[in-house]
Structure 1
Amino acid sequence: MRGYKKPTVSIIGASGYSGAELTKLILGHPSVKLEKLFAFSQAGKTVADLYPATGCDMVYEQYDGEEHSDIYFLALPHGEALSIVPGLVSSGKTVIDLSGDFRLKNHEEHLRYYGRDKSPDDVMPYALPELFHEEIRASKAVSNPGCYATSIILGLAPLVKKPLGGAGLERVACTAISGISGAGRTAKTELSFAEMSGNIRAYKVGKHQHTPEIMQALGTDTMDPSFGFTFTPMIAPLVRGIYTVMNIQLEKHLAVSQIREHFRDFYRSAPFVRVRETMTEVRHVAHTNFCDVHVAESSPDGSAVIVTTIDNLVKGAAGQAVQNMNIMLGYDETLGLL
């Protein structure tokens, strides 16, 4: 369109894995322009210095607090966005924060799971497009969901938000395996090749910080939950991907075909959720913004098994952030993501 000026984008925390994925997606997006990349320890280097495959010669800069762009993505460690986002919001910028700083409404839960205090006012709309599309569309600043949370919520939401045939959800035992990139780019001995090759381990069992946002998105909380929930996160020698297996207990038996059709109906207008007939695998979703869901089994006692897969860096972080930007700007939500 003649005379049309593309909205400009800055990424704060652009040198980490999620920031690098965002950089690639924004560079390839047809309706926005990447203007600034901010990093801290990597300031002065180019994108190609850290990620040669991009061929991008943009230089990482120190964030100076000046407001250069129309849209800001923040891909910072938890706690760091709290001092930056309020100024951007008050200036009317479009803001998508990828940290956990603004996700939780319950101040006590935030303190318990993140180990740091914040103002009760530091809350933004929780931006999971498949559940909160209209709220995202009406917002100028949103909090992007966590990766584990995305994979688990999308595997449970149809049974919680719209119970089928009176078969409410009683209990969930969830095991989710993540690729090593989910831990970030900082060097850590326990994540080195020698420690992780041929290895797999659980961590933060019962206390992972994504637990309260899962419960919040499903209409309950960890303080007085409406269904039993246990979550065992695991890390495996994959670069990317999350593989989630949910053993659930319903109030009564539903056939696999009933559950599967219910999921298809629930996600009928969700372009990035695919309900699969056959078992899903990490390689089916790697480097995409899709979440694949497979209803694997149901038993006469009301138990069932649901499996989901996502790419933790795309649907679990950068891709979902771009999906949210598209919705906030009034674009087709798939723009630049297919």
Structure 2
Amino acid sequence: MVRVAILGASGYGGSELIRILGRHPEVELVGFSSRAYAGRPLSAAWPQIDLSTPFAEVEEAVAEAELVFVALPNGIAMELAPRLIAEGRRVVDLSGDFRLPPEVYEAWYGIRHAHPDVYPRARYGLTELFRDDLQGAELVANPGCYVTAASLALAPLTAEGLDEVVTIAAMSGVSGAGRDAGGTAFAEVNENLRPYKPAGSHRHTAEIEFNLGRVRAQGRRVRTHGPAEPRPLSFTPHLVPMTRGILTTAYVTPARPLRQAELDELYRVFYAGERFVRLTEDLPQTKGVYGANTVWIRPHLDERTGQVVVFAAIDNLVKGASGQAVQNMNVVYGFDEGLGLETHGLWP
């Protein structure tokens, strides 16, 4: 049994970690931290969770832990992770602190990186693309939610050098902004649909570009997170009036003409054996992945224009955050990759 602590357990990502890890056969939950709920029972933040363990300060929460999930705002994990690693613990970080080279992180996040020396020790945890880097890792950088859907949607095309021009429109439920985020009051989001941080200004743009750059450099059997030139693209997110889920639509001008059958085969071969990637003839829907660690992907050829349109759906709190974090933990420890994780969404 791996003794696990969750820092930031009163946030949405933290609650999903508690739910998923609570049924994991190889995990013992030994500590939970929350700045807002310290000293109070878990039910104070999550009445649906039947655990009497109280929220604690960080030191107490990690005292017995071998692995620590850090589900805290950007800028905090970079301070905590080096100390936790020095104490012999493994860390899975759900923030953006170790996803990008420090100079790129500083440019996109506007935060000076406290420990750029630790970044080379981090392993990037988009499991389906960079799995071979993860086994035995001491620090895993869990990908962004938009990044996961977009990168998996485009990787097969990018690996073949077929993504000449890429434009991404992605729509997310309000939980992606976090539990304490402003601007997500019911009156603001209900019956409303709006874009934000358009055309390359969202910080996840850089992460998508780096991922696709590595895929382009390594080809179809990508499994490591080596250096590469970022792959430029246009990305615009949208906020939709639902709690959770991301639907990504990527418009690709291919480098050469494609047929639908060739497109389907390309994706089938690239994702052969991936249990959490579902290639479907139906168009992806967020309810199909609600609560699951699965991504639904459908590449579609617009025969009139020759453009490829790729649709992808994930649950932003599961495959886009906590579920993928557990998937990464499973690889780190050499467990079956699917332990504790659902492949079936909840409907309705």
Whether these two folds match at TM > 0.5 is yes
CA contact (8 A) 1:253 1:299 kept: no
Aligned equivalent of 1:147: 145
CA contact (8 A) 1:149 1:213 kept: yes
**Alpha-carbon offset, residue 76 of structure 1:** 0.4
**Alpha-carbon offset, residue 303 of structure 1:** 1.4
| 1:26 and 2:57 matched | no
Aligned equivalent of 1:171: 165
Aligned equivalent of 1:108: 103
**Alpha-carbon offset, residue 299 of structure 1:** 3.2
Please, which runs of 5 or more residues in structure 2 have no aligned partner? Answer: 216-227, 343-348
How many residues align? The count is: 325
1:133 to 117, 131, 134: 131
Q: In the aligned structure 1, how far is the partner of 2:146 from the partner of 2:65?
A: 30
1:282 to 279, 286, 295: 286
1:312 to 313, 316, 323: 316
Aligned equivalent of 1:88: 84
1:253 to 228, 253, 257: 257
CA contact (8 A) 1:252 1:301 kept: no
When residues 7 and 226 of structure 1 are mapped into structure 2, their CA distance, relative to the original with a 3 A threshold, is: closer
**Alpha-carbon offset, residue 42 of structure 1:** 1.4
Q: What does 1:93-242 correspond to in 2, within 5 Å? A: 93-105=89-101, 107-118=102-113, 119-123=115-119, 124-161=122-159, 163=160, 168-186=162-180, 188=182, 190-205=183-198, 206-219=200-213, 227-242=231-246
Q: In the aligned structure 1, how far is the partner of 2:168 from the partner of 2:324?
A: 22
Q: In the aligned structure 2, how far is the partner of 1:227 from the partner of 1:115?
A: 22
When residues 248 and 51 of structure 1 are mapped into structure 2, their CA distance, relative to the original with a 3 A threshold, is: same
CA contact (8 A) 2:2 2:28 kept: yes
Q: In the aligned structure 1, how far is the partner of 2:230 from the partner of 2:209?
A: 9
Q: Which amino acid aligns with 2:193?
A: I
Q: Which secondary structure state, in structure 2, belongs to the residue aligned with residue 191 of structure 1? A: coil
Q: In the aligned structure 2, how far is the partner of 1:322 from the partner of 1:265?
A: 25
CA contact (8 A) 1:153 1:217 kept: yes
CA contact (8 A) 2:212 2:231 kept: no
| 1:42 and 2:40 matched | no
**Bigger shift: 196-205 or 225-234?**
225-234
CA contact (8 A) 2:136 2:333 kept: no
Q: Which secondary structure state, in structure 1, belongs to the residue aligned with residue 268 of structure 2? A: helix
**Bigger shift: 278-287 or 202-211?**
202-211
Aligned equivalent of 1:335: 339
Identity %: 39
- 1:119-150 Cα shifts (integer Å, max 9, x gaps): 43242111111011110114121100010000
CA contact (8 A) 2:10 2:46 kept: no
Q: In the aligned structure 2, how far is the partner of 1:19 from the partner of 1:293?
A: 27
**RMSD between superposed Cα atoms in Å:** 1.8
TM-score by length of 2: 0.89
Q: In the aligned structure 2, how far is the partner of 1:227 from the partner of 1:101?
A: 21
Q: Which secondary structure state, in structure 1, belongs to the residue aligned with residue 68 of structure 2? A: strand
**Alpha-carbon offset, residue 45 of structure 1:** 2.1
Q: In the aligned structure 1, how far is the partner of 2:214 from the partner of 2:14?
A: 31
- 1:245-277 Cα shifts (integer Å, max 9, x gaps): 001111111112211221111111211001101
Q: Which secondary structure state, in structure 2, belongs to the residue aligned with residue 270 of structure 1? A: coil
Q: In the aligned structure 2, how far is the partner of 1:90 from the partner of 1:276?
A: 45
When residues 266 and 315 of structure 1 are mapped into structure 2, their CA distance, relative to the original with a 3 A threshold, is: same
Please, which runs of 5 or more residues in structure 1 have no aligned partner? Answer: 1-5
CA contact (8 A) 2:297 2:313 kept: yes
CA contact (8 A) 1:286 1:311 kept: yes
CA contact (8 A) 2:172 2:246 kept: yes
Aligned equivalent of 1:3: none
